[in-house]
Amino acid sequence: MIYIHLDGHKYNYDVLELIKLFFFNEDIQFLYNKTLVSNQGLLIESILYKENDKLNAAAKIFKAQSCISSITINDIDSIDIKENNLNKKKKIAVKKTIFRALSTVTDIKVPWGILTGIRPTKIVHELYDKGYDRNTVFYVLTNEYLLNSEKANLIIKITDRERKFLYSLDENRFSLYIGIPFCPTRCLYCSFPANSLEKWGNFVEEYTDKLIYEIEKVSRFLINKKLNTVYIGGGTPTAIPVKNLNKIIKKLYKVFNVDEFLELTVEAGRPDTINKDMLYMLKENKVHRLSINPQTMNEKTLSIIGRKHNPKDIIKAFDMAKNIGFNSINMDLIIGLPEESNKDVIRTMEEIMKLEPDNLTIHTMAVKRASKLKETIEYYSLAEQKSIEEMLNTTKKYAEKMGLEPYYMYRQKQILGNFENVGYSKEGKECVYNMAIMEEKETIIALGAGGVSKFFYPTENRLERVPNVKNLINYIDRIDEMIKRKVKFLKTC
């Protein structure tokens, strides 16, 4: 058990998120009275206090009532984040002292330093926006946010690549996300809106109608805006019949000004949903990008994670798509799948290299609360941090060999080993939607069950999130409410 006692501040959430990085599977509890503790495990004390008119932060770690580590930052105003924001500096000081104190008593490496958020690249964009150069950004990331130099360089590189696609900001530009919440079966690790067709297949027709209704109604408020990119995801959009997906895409062409849009991606995802009819329909509808996702090329793992396809199906689906003329194909992989080691990853990467995809997205396994994996975790062996690092390095080396460079990234809660997800692409084959959704510098209208619209107001640097319900039946029943939720923002965006 890990106990936390805070004094002089209330950064409970931030402190908890940080401590979870060091103690992945431990119970963590806040203590409001420090004296309650006697020989009960580890106690982490974090204090913010004033001395000689200066604000200081301290963290102490106690074990069996002895202090085993103690770190202090005197005068937190000296924290150099290139921003005069005392509240932010207080939070950073609290996190830095805890981070340093814990680093002296545990072996766990925390490559992302004190950053616990999903989008570390945002800090780099903000510093660039203020006119700071790469060296200063590197200094702030490594000295104040305590990133290791490899991660600091990674996000600087990605931000450099993203900026030419995201800037200049334009309040009249938007992207569109269309959610199709059906899949052939539900994968072990998944927490996305993914209703198995076996159980929910008889709702596909009604869902298609309601989605088309939502597209039609919402599009009326977007007539004078410029549609930048479209991403049809889920779930697995290609899991529904060809005629339904065709109807949805045709509707998009009908109601939006498509002459100008840059990119239309369809998450084909599961190879067992890809066939010639589907691919020809997507090609005829001028879909630019496809995702065909192996996750792994190891047959045994595919069976463990509940994907009803084998590595040969992936190769077949990929070759079929290439032959039909798709020249921008992404492949998703997950590192840290149950029972996998570096040997399996090498085998997967050797197979992927033969296919030469244009994009490769390397996810690190996250044990999501709403997944079957979380419920049954005791039955699986998951890799330790060192092994995850080795496997990620393998993917990085192969990506380089394949001429793929990192172009977007994000982190997730409960991600194994405190690592990250990185999207690699050939030059000119970046998915602009992926960058836009991560950096939140453009309005994204998300339609369908589970979609979260984000209205971005560049002049105020403000973002408003408007979610649709995730549940399929609720979405169908409450479609008018889903539209209404957005109307207020659609009128002002």
Q: Which residues bind ligand SF4 (CB under 6 A)?
A: 183, 186-187, 190, 192, 194, 234-236, 269-270
Buried b (16+ CB within 10 A) or exposed e, 327-364: ebbbbbbbbbbbebebebbeebbebbeebebbbbbbbb
**Contact of residue 186 among ligand SAM, ligand SF4, none (CB under 5-8 Å per partner type):** ligand SF4
Between 177 and 489, whose beta carbon lies closer to ligand SF4?
177
Q: Identify the three-state secondary structure at position 129.
A: helix
d(CA 466, CA 450): 11
Radius of gyration of the chain (CA): 24
408 binds, among ligand SAM, ligand SF4, none (CB under 5 to 8 A by kind): none
If the CB atoms of residues 235 and 451 are measured against ligand SF4, the closer one turns out to be 235
Residues contacting residue 395 through CB under 8 Å, at least 6 positions apart: 333, 335, 345, 349, 360, 362
Closest distance between ligand SAM and the C-beta of residue 221, in Å? 27
Give least dist CB 188 to ligand SF4, A: 8
- Looking at the Cβ atoms of 163 and 374, the one nearer to ligand SAM is 374
Q: Are strands 462-467 and 42-51 parallel, antiparallel or unpaired?
A: unpaired
The count of other CB atoms within 10 Å of the CB of residue 174 is 24
Considering the complex, state which of residue 236 and residue 387 has its C-beta at the smaller distance from ligand SF4: 236
CA distance 246 to 287: 11
Residue 326 makes CB contacts below 8 A (sequence gap 6+) with 279, 282, 283, 287, 289, 290
> Which entry of ligand SF4, ligand SAM, none binds 332, CB below 5 to 8 A by partner kind?
ligand SAM
Q: From the CB of 422, what's the least distance to ligand SAM, in Å? A: 12
143: nearest Cα among 84, 85, 73: 73
- What span, in angstroms and rounded, lies between the C-alpha atoms of 213 and 270? 27
366 binds, among ligand SF4, ligand SAM, none (CB under 5 to 8 A by kind): ligand SAM
Sign of CA dihedral 231, 232, 238, 242: negative
Question: C-beta of 196: minimal distance to ligand SF4 in Å?
Answer: 8
Closest to ligand SF4 by CB, 94 or 366: 366
| Residue 370 host element (H or E) | none
**End-to-end Cα spacing for the chain:** 48
Q: Which is nearer to ligand SAM, 212 or 366 (CB)?
A: 366
Neighbouring C-beta atoms of residue 475, cutoff 10 Å: 26
365 binds, among ligand SF4, ligand SAM, none (CB under 5 to 8 A by kind): ligand SAM
Pairing state of beta strands 54-63 and 66-73?
Answer: antiparallel
The listed partner (ligand SF4, ligand SAM, none) that binds 490, CB under 5 to 8 Å by sort, is none
Question: 411 vs 486, which CB is nearer to ligand SAM?
Answer: 411
368 binding partner (options ligand SAM, ligand SF4, none; Cβ < 5 to 8 Å by kind): ligand SAM
Q: How far is the CB of 265 from ligand SF4 (least distance, A)?
A: 15
Give min distance, CB of 363 to ligand SAM, in A: 3
Q: From the centroid of its chain, how far is CA 277?
A: 31
Q: Are 67 and 43 in contact (CB under 8 A)?
A: no
**Closest separation in Å from C-beta 181 to ligand SF4:** 8
For 271, the enclosing helix (H) or strand (E) is none
Contact positions toward ligand SAM, by CB under 6 A?
A: 183, 189-190, 192, 233-234, 236, 267, 269-270, 293, 295, 332, 334, 363, 365-366, 368, 371
Q: How far is the CB of 456 from ligand SF4 (least distance, A)?
A: 26
Contact partner, 334, from ligand SAM, ligand SF4, none, Cβ < 5-8 Å per class: ligand SAM
> Which residue's structure tokens are 């008119």?
53
Report in angstroms how near the CB of residue 183 gets to ligand SAM at its nearest.
6
Q: Whole-number minimum distance, CB 488 to ligand SAM, in Å? A: 28
Q: What is the residue whose two structure tokens read 């490899």? A: 150
Q: Looking at beta carbons only, is 208 or 295 nearer to ligand SAM?
A: 295
Residue whose CB is less far from ligand SF4, 94 or 469: 469
282 binds, among ligand SF4, ligand SAM, none (CB under 5 to 8 A by kind): none
Q: Smallest distance from the beta carbon of 331 to ligand SF4, in angstroms?
A: 13
Pick 144 or 267: Cβ nearer ligand SAM = 267
- 316 contacts which partner out of ligand SF4, ligand SAM, none, CB within 5 to 8 A by kind? none
CA-to-CA separations, 158 to 124, 163, 371, 396, 438, in angstroms, rounded: 10, 9, 30, 14, 12
Closer residue to ligand SAM, CB minimum distance, 214 or 332: 332
Q: Which does 330 bind (CB under 5 to 8 A by kind): ligand SF4, ligand SAM, none?
A: none
State the Cα–Cα distance between residues 143 and 289, nearest whole angstrom. Answer: 40
